[in-house]
Amino acid sequence: MSEKQFNGRSAIVTGGTRGIGKAISLELARRGANVAFNYSKSADEAERLKAEIEALGVKAYAAQCDVARTVASAEFVAKVKEEFGGIDYLVNNAGITRDQLILRMKEEDWDAVIDTNLKGAWNFSKAAIRPMMRNENGGSILNISSISGVVGMLGQSNYSASKAGMIGLTKSLAKEIASRKVTVNALALGLIETDMASGMNDEYREKIIAQIPLGRLGSVAEVADIACFMLSPSAAYITGQVIQADGGLAM
């Protein structure tokens, strides 16, 4: 792998301010890509990350944009195209949880999770594929899904459905745009050390770790490495696939 394998390329990462999205944004920038990211509330974190990306010698663009909103998502993508001159990669990463057993889950918790995680990925994909299809070398989309969408998880009917939906979106879109050299894949992650995972109490955490064959949570650096591989020319012959990175949890 060359150090600057993404030199001159442009990427969008949704939900870049924290956790996995931040790690992927920084790794893409380290490898030479211009990086645009959006966020929901974390304006200060966004400013800091934008400066960090620019310090790596590439362009950065950041703006508040709710991925659940179709028009705003299209406007964000159009602005990135204007700023960077094109779009090569999209990482649909923005996601939320609102866990609750279905009998106690409120309709708004179902809607918020489906709208953010699934419709958000659809919104950004729809807006970004046209510029990607016009590229001579195509492009690549990576959807950040979860093993919750593969095997289901207690208390996550909304989240599991959204993440399973992303897998369907991945496969369908991969078939639609393969002829234009645009690949679409999903990462089904297990537990990764981020704010999202820090909500677990110690007892539950130990219980989960005991079930992970590799005996630990994954790190955001590991996810960023896998994401960069999936977007890179090394993965050009992989499309419509779900790559599980979960320490062996959901074999």
Alpha carbons 16 and 152: distance in angstroms, whole number: 26
Question: Using CB under 6 A, which residues numbered 116 to 145 contact ligand NDP?
Answer: 116-117, 144
Rg (CA), the chain: 17
39 is annotated as an active-site residue: no
- Which listed range, 35-43, 47-55, 82-90, 204-212, lies at the site for ligand NDP (CB under 6 A)? 35-43
Select from 33-41, 54-62, 77-85, 205-213 the region that touches ligand NDP (CB under 6 A). Answer: 33-41
- Amino acid letter for position 67: V
User: Of the ranges 27-35, 167-175, 177-185, 193-201, which one interacts with ligand NDP (CB under 6 A)?
Assistant: 193-201
- Closer residue to ligand NDP (CB): 107 or 237: 107
149 near ligand NDP (CB under 6 A): no
Closest CA to 96 of 73, 69, 124, 68: 68
Q: Residue 127 phi/psi, 5° resolution?
A: -75, -30
Q: Is 139 helix (H, G, I), strand (E, B) or coil?
A: strand
44-83: contacts with ligand NDP (CB under 6 A):
66-68
**Binding residue for ligand NDP (CB under 6 A) from 9, 30, 31, 39?**
39
Of residues 11, 12, 20, 235, which one binds ligand NDP by CB under 6 A? 20
How many CB atoms sit inside 10 A of residue 40's CB? 18
| Cβ-proximal residues to 137 (8 Å cutoff; 6+ apart), any chain | 88, 181
Q: Point out the residues that are catalytic.
A: 159
